[in-house]
Structure 1
Amino acid sequence: MTHTLAYVLGVLVLVLGVAVSVALHELGHMIPAKRFGVKVPEYFIGFGPRIWSTRRGETEYGVKAIWLGGYVKLLGMLPPAPPDRPDKPGSMIDEARRESLAELAEEDRDRAFYRLSVPRKLIVMAGGILTNLVLGVVCLVLAVGVVGQPARTSTLGSVTSCLPTDASGQDAPVEDCAAEEKTPAVRAGLRAGDTIVSWDGSTTSTWAEVQEAIGASGTRAVEVVIERDGARRTLSVTPVEVSRPVTDDNGAPVTGADGEQLTQMRPYVGIGPALGTVRVPPSQLPAVVGQAVTGTLKAIATLPVGLVHSVAAGLGIEERSSEGLVSLVGIGRMAGETTAAGAGSGTVPLSVRVSAMLSLLGALNLALFAFNLVPLPPLDGGHVAGACWEGLRRLLARMRGRPDPGHVDTARLLPVGQAVFVLLVIMAAVLIWVDIVAPL
């Protein structure tokens, strides 16, 4: 029951996080638009039936039923048809243009979005994109720099009672053994929950540092400073040399050409780390954030390839990659599993779950940032590209001494926008299917 409640809580936290991200994204558009005089009649979180709304000035603020997005309505997004290229009466472009301009009262004609200068258009349309970037960076910095990255810590999570007797070097699953078969940890008085402060004079703050110190000290008696119940104590520990499994950097067992587990003789104490969080130093945060941003941009740039691999995983042709594309269903499952991990047992500390959830929300915002950079309507990047093209045309006209070519006719891209929208719906459906049949 506790596990189920924790799982549901994770999904609810994700939904709330998405709603907040969308709300701030739309504020990134609305605030500069209002500042530049554009008329903004609606600001809503969600789609579908209206749940609640209120009017403040000329803008109606509200919430709708489906929290998978949101919108801010800027009047006059589409400019009038150029005199030399009139729309075909009754066409989709003609109807859309008429509807856009009809919403503007005569006294508000100067408040249309299309009348903004190119720099102001860029600020309005890039506002939402940059908001997601900032949110993503903040979430990641909080996750790894304040709460800390999930890691094996220098605090002991387990103390083995007896020396390993299995030929593979695995710890023996027994608790009662003769005194001479007790592990060095038991003989020295180490307990689960102790924090290794230093080992043979070497300060330790991570499990990797503890392992390195044990390997360096060999099998001689060494002084180990621990912290227990808020007080520091010094114990004498004498490791013994035993056959231990060989593992890689991720802790996975390494096997030989014959498929058998590899072992090696090395100093052994009989202690295991507790899972916890380790803060990334401020000097390393830019590199961590930069890697996350570039990785997200790369994933969006190779979106078709990623989609092909996802479909192949769904069909069972290949293994699902942990770095591949994920739908909101998959992200929801991750959120649920994050909060439910170790719920009620204490095996996964709260700090680890908080860090993982913040990282998930950070990755989601970075994905929204990168995805909206795609220069196609109806994405924000399509509007940014239109404004850039308008600015370039005007610049070239000035340089050549020609008349101002005027606003870029973004209405002509409506068919492209519809096609892109259909493709996005198909892609979302495919990824949802993959997350159901081949979940991460």
Structure 2
Amino acid sequence: MTVLLFILGVLFVAIGIIVSIALHEVGHLVPAKLFKVRVTQYMVGFGRTLWSTKKGDTEYGIKAIPAGGFVAMIGMYPPNKTDGSVRPSSTGLLQTLAESRAEPRKAGRLEKLAADARDMAHEEVGPEDENRVFYKLPVWKKIIIMLGGPAMNFVIAIVLMAVVLMGFGIAQPTTTLAEVNACQVKYGEQPPADLSNCTPTPAAAAGLKPGDKIVSFDGKQPASWDELSAWIKADAGRNVPITVERGGQSVSLSITPVLTARPVVNAAGVAEKDANGGVLTQEVGFAGISPASANVPQPVTAVLPAVGDNIAAVAGVVVNLPQRMVAVAQAAFSSAPRDPNGPVSVVGVGRVAGELAATEQVPLSARIAALISLIAGVNIALGVFNLIPLLPLDGGHVAGALYEGARRRIAKWFGRKDPGPFDIAKLLPLTYVVASVLLVMGALLIYADIVKPVNLFG
């Protein structure tokens, strides 16, 4: 049963990722068609075509390797400025060679890369497509088309987070007790082996039991565990009446919290540390109880902040990506531990999904919510990563469009001739370098996820 659940978890997330990729490309496709650009292909995946059908100008299909997708638009690169051809004129090539006398062969290769890209971008352009090419679009339309993909990923993430937060809710501590500690133990010490000789906690001495729901503390009804905890911390040494609901009956008790050192925690529930790395503590009232958790549906106003927090977290990983990749490499080729908050590949995501689905100690609803949250996180990662201003990512095309708009505006300010569309094909050498780096990073992550996977469950 565990193996079956593991496989189902992997399939669930795999299908979710493929659908997310398909919708990412829809984010490019729809505005391109709205702006009358001729789209020749809409493909999910790469490699050999498994299935396709043509509707209007566009061939829609699925390819063998589901590791991405693409929308092919005609005229992505402008023709050669010298003679209007999609191939470089001899003058343009000679001029490039003259300007790069130190490395003429390199210049020729770079020119050929741009020429081949222009050729492919114009191979299906006919006379009737003069005003349907991408490069003739206004800058703002180019930006909308290129931002459509990441925007779609963020929309998917918002919808999925809304399902999780508003439908399933998030686990929050309640005023029902999950555990009543038997012995008083100083912070940082281990409980004694013989519990019969220890000093009982205030909760144990009061007769509290797991499953009790605290409905009244010193005559006040706690609205949350945090409120109840604050009252206990403030009432050290004072005997306080307490009412619990036990088995449908109301039981009246009394408790005297004791003053003891407890760690200082921040809003996220993490213990704060001093300058030397030690845990900060404070003297507060202590009862010796732990709360049970329950899923509490959240309001719609909680969705966008949650997505925003996730975007900020992913952006932080992307900004520090070189450092993170060094840490991944060190973990993969040494005994160093893997950072659970670091980047992972699709293999790592699949493994986490399988482990989540197979964890039978967690209720089914919580596992489903976790898998949906995982797909939402993948969409946030796709959206943020594609905004990096480097080709071949969407952010690189946006950066090219912004540069085009800036130089045209500057030319207009100074009364100069309009420089025309920016020939982004000139950046293809950089594109190939970035693509190669991304492939190496992807291979490293896959290897690390196989030999040193992220372990979320200890």
With structure 2 as the length reference, what TM-score do the two structures score? 0.78
Partner SS, residue 358 of structure 1: helix
Partner SS, residue 69 of structure 1: strand
Q: Which residue of 1 aligns with 2:32?
A: 33
Q: Deviation of residue 20 (structure 1)?
A: 1.9
Q: Deviation of residue 422 (structure 1)?
A: 0.8
Q: Which residue of 1 aligns with 2:252?
A: 236
Question: Mapping of 1:124-135 within 5 angstroms?
Answer: 124-135=145-156
Q: Does residue 101 of the first structure (1) align with residue 122 of the second (2)? A: yes
Partner SS, residue 237 of structure 1: strand
Q: Which residue of 2 aligns with 1:394?
A: 408
Where does the alignment leave 5 or more consecutive residues of structure 2 unmatched? 94-107
Q: Deviation of residue 41 (structure 1)?
A: 2.1
Match among 292, 314, 319 for residue 274 of structure 1: 292
Question: Mapping of 1:85-96 within 5 angstroms?
Answer: 86=89, 88=93, 91-96=112-117
**Number of residue-to-residue matches in the alignment:** 422
CA distance in 2, matches of 1:350, 1:247: 33
Partner SS, residue 22 of structure 1: helix
CA 1:181–1:38 in structure 2 vs 1: closer, same or farther (change >3 Å)? closer
Q: Which residue of 2 aligns with 1:365?
A: 379
CA 1:425–1:35 in structure 2 vs 1: closer, same or farther (change >3 Å)? same
Q: Does residue 122 of the first structure (1) align with residue 122 of the second (2)? A: no
Q: Does residue 4 of the first structure (1) align with residue 23 of the second (2)? A: no
Q: Does residue 322 of the first structure (1) align with residue 309 of the second (2)? A: no
Question: Mapping of 1:217-296 within 5 angstroms?
Answer: 220=239, 222-226=241-245, 233-239=249-255, 246=262, 249=265, 250=269, 267-268=286-287, 271-280=289-298, 286-296=304-314
Q: Deviation of residue 76 (structure 1)?
A: 1.6
CA distance in 2, matches of 1:181, 1:418: 68
Q: Deviation of residue 303 (structure 1)?
A: 1.5
Per-residue CA distance 1:264-323 (angstroms, 9 max, x = gap): 996546x54334334556565554433322222222122112212222232337443232
Name which of structure 1's ranges 180-189 and 293-302 shifts more when overlaid on structure 2.
180-189
Name which of structure 1's ranges 402-411 and 208-217 shifts more when overlaid on structure 2.
208-217
Q: Deviation of residue 185 (structure 1)?
A: 6.4
Match among 367, 376, 379 for residue 390 of structure 2: 376
Q: Is the CA contact 1:376–1:417 (under 8 Å) kept in the aligned structure 2?
A: yes
CA distance in 1, matches of 2:380, 2:246: 40
Q: Is the CA contact 2:179–2:209 (under 8 Å) kept in the aligned structure 1?
A: no
CA 1:380–1:251 in structure 2 vs 1: closer, same or farther (change >3 Å)? closer
Q: Which residue of 2 aligns with 1:338?
A: 356
Q: Which residue of 2 aligns with 1:143?
A: 164
Q: Which residue of 2 aligns with 1:61?
A: 60
Name which of structure 1's ranges 48-57 and 364-373 shifts more when overlaid on structure 2.
48-57
Q: Is the CA contact 2:261–2:282 (under 8 Å) kept in the aligned structure 1?
A: yes
With structure 1 as the length reference, what TM-score do the two structures score? 0.81
Name which of structure 1's ranges 233-242 and 299-308 shifts more when overlaid on structure 2.
233-242
Where does the alignment leave 5 or more consecutive residues of structure 1 unmatched? none
Partner SS, residue 131 of structure 2: helix
Question: Mapping of 1:69-80 within 5 angstroms?
Answer: 69-80=68-79
Per-residue CA distance 1:188-216 (angstroms, 9 max, x = gap): 57553x54444444444544444334444
CA distance in 1, matches of 2:192, 2:40: 68
Q: Is the CA contact 1:223–1:234 (under 8 Å) kept in the aligned structure 2?
A: no
Letter in 2 for 1:397: A
Name which of structure 1's ranges 316-325 and 301-310 shifts more when overlaid on structure 2.
316-325
CA distance in 2, matches of 1:145, 1:227: 30
